[in-house]
């Protein structure tokens, strides 16, 4: 499957603490395989692997798992010790309570609270006092909480909705992709809502599994996962698992989902997107990955994506990114 790319906005947000600390951002970006010129291009994107590498680089450079965005540093290894405390719980509710009590031992760390309303549970996050103007820390913590909780019980927890205390940001469409549900902004709380039955599910992981988990966490958890709860995510997964040169039609995808093309189009419209947009996004992500991580010619990439000639690919790529494939490779590789 072809990995999703991530908006440059998230990279700018991740760098805010390092910038505030006076670090030279160039070497940090190069260590993550990200061209510094990307920061000036609002339409640029990076791969999930590059984003995860940058998180690891920033944590190491600042010796702070909050990457300079919190009111106080969180020393490297703090997250791992929290995981060791939580993994020996009997169920997810107990694990989350242990994790919350663990972080309460340190000043300025996130505070979680579990609330209930009928059949739903809500995990609220309080990170007031952080220095996070781009909301990277808020987004990242909620993604990490969701990823870790799902890992503990061995299955993804479907989210009903996400709420955030701050106004709708320009990159709001990225939230729905990251959490696999609708996101609401300007709320009174920052919280994730889901079926409360998941809190009673047993923790199936152990210390041995945790060792492997921590080889990649928390950095890889901060890269938005690929979920399939919305119509758009279902479409994208089918497209991303198809040959790039022969992406299926809307009729074929609808058939795979056992719905009519009209119903699929309606559901995508309700989510504020379209089949063509998802198809273009898949092609864009494949093209960006190939241009920045391989030596394939532009002609080869165009052919791989199913374009009859490279000029059509040039036009499409410029529509997606504002740049030609050659200039994108030269500047951002």
- Per-residue pLDDT of 254-305, as tens digits, reads 888 888 889 899 888 877 788 998 899 889 989 988 888 888 999 999 999 9
Could you read off the pLDDT of 120-135 as tens digits, one per residue? Answer: 999 999 877 778 888 8
How high is the pLDDT of residue 226?
A: 46
How high is the pLDDT of residue 223?
A: 55
Residue 41: which of 329, 328, 330, 313 has the closest Cα?
A: 328
Which of the two residues, 15 and 4, has the higher pLDDT score? 15
Domain ranges within the chain, ordered by starting residue:
5-72, 78-220, 231-332
Write out the two tokens for 267.
């559901």
Could you read off the pLDDT of 93-120 as tens digits, one per residue? Answer: 999 999 999 998 888 788 889 999 999 9
State yes or no: pLDDT of 224 exceeds 70: no
For domain 231-332, give the fold: Arc Repressor Mutant, subunit A (1.10.10)
How high is the pLDDT of residue 193?
A: 96
What is each CA distance from 127 to 35, 72, 108, 109, 166, in whole angstroms? Answer: 31, 12, 8, 7, 12
Write out the two tokens for 137.
């820390």
Given pLDDT bands bounded at 50, 70 and 90, which one contains residue 88? very high
What is the share, in percent, of the chain residues with pLDDT greater than 90? 41
State yes or no: pLDDT of 17 exceeds 90: yes
What is each CA distance from 10 to 48, 139, 148, in whole angstroms? Answer: 11, 9, 20
How high is the pLDDT of residue 190?
A: 93
Residues 6+ apart with CB under 8 A from 48: 3, 4, 5, 6, 223, 224
Q: Is the dihedral of CA 158, 139, 75, 131 positive or negative?
A: negative
pLDDT (mean) for 187-216: 90
Given pLDDT bands bounded at 50, 70 and 90, which one contains residue 230? low
* Mean residue pLDDT across the chain: 87
Tracing tokens 């940090």 back to the chain, one arrives at 28
Given pLDDT bands bounded at 50, 70 and 90, which one contains residue 28? very high
Tell me, what DSSP letter sits at residue 107?
A: T
Give me the helices (H) in the chain, please.
8-20, 25-31, 48-62, 78-86, 92-103, 136-153, 173-179, 207-213, 231-240, 250-256, 261-270, 275-293, 298-304, 310-321, 325-332
Q: What is the 3-state secondary structure (H, E, C) of 16-72?
A: HHHHHCCCCHHHHHHHCCCCHHHHHCCCCEEEHHHHHHHHHHHHHHHCCCCCCCCCC
Distance CA 146, CA 232 (A): 20
State yes or no: pLDDT of 225 exceeds 70: no
State yes or no: pLDDT of 325 exceeds 80: yes
Following CA atoms 130, 132, 133, 139 in sequence, which dihedral angle do they give, to the nearest 10 degrees?
Answer: -120
Given pLDDT bands bounded at 50, 70 and 90, which one contains residue 222? low
């Amino acid at each position: 499957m072809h990995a999703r790319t991530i908006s440059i906005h998230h990279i700018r947000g991740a760098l805010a603490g390092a910038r505030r600390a006076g670090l030279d951002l160039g070497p940090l970006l190069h260590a993550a395989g990200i061209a510094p010129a990307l920061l000036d291009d609002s339409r640029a994107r990076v791969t999930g692997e590059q984003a995860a590498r940058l998180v690891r680089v920033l944590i190491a450079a600042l010796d702070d798992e909050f990457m300079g965005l919190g009111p106080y540093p969180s020393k490297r290894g703090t997250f791992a010790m929290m995981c060791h405390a939580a993994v020996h719980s009997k169920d997810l509710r107990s694990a989350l309570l242990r994790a919350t009590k663990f972080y309460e031992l340190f000043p300025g760390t996130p505070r979680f609270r579990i609330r209930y309303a009928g059949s739903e549970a809500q995990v609220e996050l309080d990170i007031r006092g952080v220095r996070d103007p781009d909301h990277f820390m808020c987004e990242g913590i909620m993604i990490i909480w969701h990823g870790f909780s799902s890992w503990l019980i061995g299955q993804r927890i479907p989210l009903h909705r996400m709420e955030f205390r701050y106004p709708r940001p320009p990159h709001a469409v990225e939230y729905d992709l990251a959490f696999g549900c609708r996101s609401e902004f300007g709320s009174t709380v920052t919280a994730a809502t889901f079926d409360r039955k998941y809190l009673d599910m047993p923790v199936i992981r152990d210390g041995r599994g945790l060792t492997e988990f921590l080889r990649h966490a928390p950095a890889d958890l901060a890269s938005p996962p690929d979920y399939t709860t919305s119509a758009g995510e279902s479409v994208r997964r089918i497209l991303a698992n198809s040959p790039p040169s022969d992406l299926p039609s809307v009729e074929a995808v609808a058939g795979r989902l056992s719905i009519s093309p009209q119903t699929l189009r309606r559901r995508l419209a309700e989510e504020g997107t379209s089949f063509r947009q998802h198809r273009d996004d898949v092609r864009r992500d494949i093209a960006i990955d190939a241009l920045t991580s391989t030596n394939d010619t532009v002609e080869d990439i165009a052919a791989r994506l199913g374009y009859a000639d490279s000029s059509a690919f040039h036009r499409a790529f410029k529509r997606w990114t504002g740049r030609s494939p050659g200039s994108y490779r030269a500047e951002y590789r």
